[in-house]
Amino acid sequence: MSAELVGVIWVSLKVATVATLAILVPGVWLGHALARRRVPARVLVQTLVTLPLVLPPVAVGLLLLRLLSPLSWPGTWLAEVGPWLLTWKAAALAAATMSFPLLVRGAEAGFSSVSERTEAVALGLGLSRARVFWKVTLPLARAGILSGVLLAFARALGEFGATILVAGHISGETETLALGIYARIEAGDSDAAWALVGASMIIALLLGLLAERARMRSRA
Amino acid sequence: MNSLQLTGNCGAFNIVVSLQWNARVLALFGASGAGKSTVIEAMAGLRPALSGSWSMDGAVIPLRAGAGRGVAFAPQDALLFPHLSARGNIDLATRGRPRPDLANAAIEALELAALLDQPANVLSGGERQRVSFVRALAAAPRVLLLDEPFSALDWPLRQKALSFLVDCVQRTKLHVVFVSHDPIEVLAVAEEVAVLEAGKVLCCGAPAQVLHSAQALDALPRGAVENVFVLESARRDGDVVLVRTARGQELVMAAPSAECALPNRVGVSAEDVLLATGRPEGVSAQNVFAARVSSIEPAGTHTWVRLLAGDEAWTVRLTRRAVQQLALQPGVQVTLILKAHSIRAV
């Protein structure tokens, strides 16, 4: 496999990993809040969280483009840290936005599956709320959170519509698997396209195995 | 002085509890569905819907679970943390401090050492209850709340657990509130007992008195052991055991199997006792002795007859018809008849 193709895989994995890590804490936090706390305007929050799943990815891309533009205040603020548009960071932001609902939903399902009575008994033993969360709730919600993380990672890996708008197609910088396959088909290089499809399948297979192992473990 | 005030709705009925007690060990006693578990769960802080106040020796304990209350709770269904081992469950309750000696002693006494590394979700019901009890002790509480803590244990182990609990209270400053529907447990452990029915306290006082009140007796399941006697001595004689109660009544009971230790308490169900107005001849029953009726209390479909044989008080359940046929009245002399097999080690 050529260095160029390896580069595509590398960018893809980097973008998906950074995107997943970036949404991990806020996603788990929001999932916990939705499952356990009295969230004001819950329906509105849930709708907003789900929005990227419902909207066409290109529409999300356009919204992000607006957000990152130097004309908007987040854009000016982000520009202080360095350029975003047409960089791999923009690709990661697009992937993170698209994956966020999946992580939140997984975490929410995970936390909802933990019996509130078990948590209450832990409190009844005199444990602090923080200790109950770290030692009882979080480990028991692990399976749901993990499945959310894996789905989010998979979604980030396959992101196309929003990514191409904000990150463009720059070989070695923003060219992910999805963009790479599309570009090679456009260029008539079907061998290279198939090689990338093969690589995608191998990664998908590994993710599937990982998910299954996590599921078996949490069952045991 | 300790006090508990609780009010609120718990679905089936309203809880209206106002309770004051002095003893270190209080039992909440009553039939199933009387609200015992609701009350103890409220004390554990698991029933925020109920409002009220609780104080122990004048110190207020908030009715909201969390750190710093000095209270630990072992629920009826044990509710171990399923992702941890037995040891993990116990050590989580210590909040990172070394495990208290009392918890180690409990592991020893309740024969848990071999089970410590087992995952909590493979343990049997009785094993879970024991771990849950030790877990509560491991939290080093000032007040230990136990909801039917040993109900799933077989009898020998249950006796061990009960004597360990009694020992605990004697050796430490631990306060215990426990729920039970078993008068034997109450008599063995509690210094005071509150009888609950439909969310209200019917009566409260010393177990020996309260448990012989008609209100408490009616809360008992059918066939329970209403008469419990502490023994002064017991010795085997062939296939029977000759026992003498602390108040001097001699009884003959069928011998438990050879490997079982001789009992230090025996119980007799109020249904198993026969009364006769004369002295019967040629009966197989091994216990035939004189008694005097001290009171007769009709209660719904049956009648509680209380007797005094020597210094030992007996409670007998008869039909109203039997009471009429024998013309029983307070002060009447009768013969109390009891099979050797009706006396059980408790």
Which amino acid is present at B248? G
CATH number at residue A185: 1.10.3720.10
Residue B40 predicted with pLDDT over 70? yes
Identify the residue with better confidence: B170 or B345.
B170
* Residue A1: band (very low, low, confident or very high) from pLDDT cuts 50, 70, 90: low
| Average pLDDT of span B232-241 | 89
Nearest to A125 among B68, B83, B93 (CB): B93
| Residue A154 within a domain | yes
Q: What is the pLDDT of residue A216?
A: 79
Contacts A131 to B, Cβ<8 Å = 67, 95
Residue B215 predicted with pLDDT over 80? no
Instruction: Looking at mean pLDDT, say which of A64-68, B95-99, B119-123 comes out highest.
Output: B119-123
A125, B46: Cβ pair inside 8 Å? no
Domain that holds residue A42: 3-111+142-219
Instruction: Tell me which residues of chain A, numbers 123 to 162, contact chain B at a CB-CB cutoff of 8 Å.
Output: 123-129, 131, 135-136, 139-140, 142
Which amino acid is present at A56? P
Q: What is the pLDDT of residue A188?
A: 94
Inform me whether the C-beta atom of residue A188 falls under 8 Å from chain B C-beta atoms.
no
Chain segment B152-205, per-residue pLDDT in tens:
888 788 888 988 999 889 889 999 999 998 877 888 889 999 988 888 998 888
Inform me whether the C-beta atom of residue A53 falls under 8 Å from chain B C-beta atoms.
no
Calpha distance B270→B224 (Å, rounded):
8
| Residue A134 within a domain | no
Q: Which residues of B touch A (CB under 8 A)?
A: 44-46, 65-73, 75, 79, 81-83, 92-93, 95, 135-136, 139, 141, 145
Q: What contacts B13, CB < 8 A, 6 or more positions away?
A: B35, B198, B199
Q: What is the pLDDT of residue B95?
A: 87
Under 8 Å between Cβ of B236 and B260? no
Count of beta carbons in the 10 Å neighbourhood of residue B51:
13
Percent of chain A with pLDDT over 70: 98
B75, A121: Cβ pair inside 8 Å? yes
Q: What is the pLDDT of residue B286?
A: 94
DSSP secondary structure letter of residue A102? H
Chain segment B259-283, per-residue pLDDT in tens:
667 777 788 888 899 999 988 889 9
Burial letters for A67-98: b for 16+ Cβ neighbours within 10 Å, e otherwise? bbbeeeeebeebeeeeebbbbbbbbbbbbbbb
Residue B217 predicted with pLDDT over 80? no
Calpha distance A205→B208 (Å, rounded):
70
B67, A120: Cβ pair inside 8 Å? no
Give the ranges where B272-319 is alpha helix by DSSP (H): none
Interface probe, candidates A38, A117, A125, chain B, greatest B C-beta count within 10 A: A125
Closest by Cα among A208, A184, A195 to A2: A195
- Structural domain count, chain A: 1
| Residue A129 within a domain | no
Q: What is the pLDDT of residue A219?
A: 63
| Residue A84 within a domain | yes
* Predicted complex ipTM: 0.80
| Residue A127 within a domain | no
Calpha distance B166→B154 (Å, rounded):
18
Q: For A123, name the nearest residue in chain B, comparing CA atoms only.
A: B66
A121, B93: Cβ pair inside 8 Å? no
Count chain A–chain B contacts defined by CB atoms under 8 A: 66
Q: What is the pLDDT of residue B239?
A: 87
Nearest to B92 among A123, A129, A135 (CB): A135
Calpha distance A112→A106 (Å, rounded):
10
| Residue A119 within a domain | no
* Residue B206: band (very low, low, confident or very high) from pLDDT cuts 50, 70, 90: confident
Q: Which of A83-97, B13-27, B206-220 has the lowest mean pLDDT?
A: B206-220
A123, B65: Cβ pair inside 8 Å? yes
Calpha distance A113→B227 (Å, rounded):
47
Q: What is the pLDDT of residue B225?
A: 65
Contacts A129 to B, Cβ<8 Å = 66-67
| Residue A120 within a domain | no
Inform me whether the C-beta atom of residue A187 falls under 8 Å from chain B C-beta atoms.
no
A125, B70: Cβ pair inside 8 Å? no
Chain segment A152-183, per-residue pLDDT in tens:
999 999 999 999 999 998 888 999 999 999 99
| Residue A75 within a domain | yes
A126, B67: Cβ pair inside 8 Å? yes
| Average pLDDT of span B110-114 | 94
B67, A128: Cβ pair inside 8 Å? yes
Contacts A127 to B, Cβ<8 Å = 67, 92-93, 95
Nearest to B83 among A121, A125, A140 (CB): A140
Domains along the sequence of chain B with CATH? 2-219 (3.40.50.300), 227-345 (2.40.50.100)
Inform me whether the C-beta atom of residue A206 falls under 8 Å from chain B C-beta atoms.
no
Q: What is the pLDDT of residue A41?
A: 84
Q: What is the pLDDT of residue B259?
A: 65
Tokens of A22: 């970036």
Under 8 Å between Cβ of B112 and B131? yes
The pLDDT mean for chain A works out to 91
Distances in Å between the alpha carbon of B213 and those of A191, B209, B309? 92, 7, 18
Contacts B75 to A, Cβ<8 Å = 117, 121, 124
| Average pLDDT of span A53-79 | 87
* Residue A193: band (very low, low, confident or very high) from pLDDT cuts 50, 70, 90: very high
B73, A131: Cβ pair inside 8 Å? no
Identify the residue with better confidence: A75 or B170.
B170
Q: What is the pLDDT of residue B220?
A: 66
